[in-house]
Copies of this chain bind each other. A is one copy, B any other.
Amino acid sequence: MKKSEAAAPPAITVVTTGGTIDKLYFDALSEYQVGESVVRKLLAIGNVRYPFEIIEALRKDSLELTDADRDDLYRRVAALPTSRVVMTHGTDSMAVTAARLASIPGKTIVLTGALSPARFSESDASFNLGMAFATAQVAPPGVYIVMNGEVFPAGSVRKDREAGRFVRTD
Contacts and interface: CB of A to CB of B under 8 A. Distances in A.
B45 A122 contact: yes
Contacts of A7: 168, 170
Work out how many copies of this chain go into the complex.
Answer: 4
Contacts of A23: 25
Interface residues of A, number: 62
15 contacts: A1-B169, A20-B27, A20-B30, A25-B116, A30-B61, A45-B124, A46-B127, A47-B127, A50-B148, A119-B122, A126-B127, A126-B130, A134-B134, A134-B135, A137-B150
Interface of A: 1, 3-4, 7, 9, 20, 23, 25, 27-28, 30-32, 42-43, 45-50, 52, 61, 63, 91-92, 115-117, 119-124, 126-135, 137-139, 146-151, 161-162, 164-166, 168-170
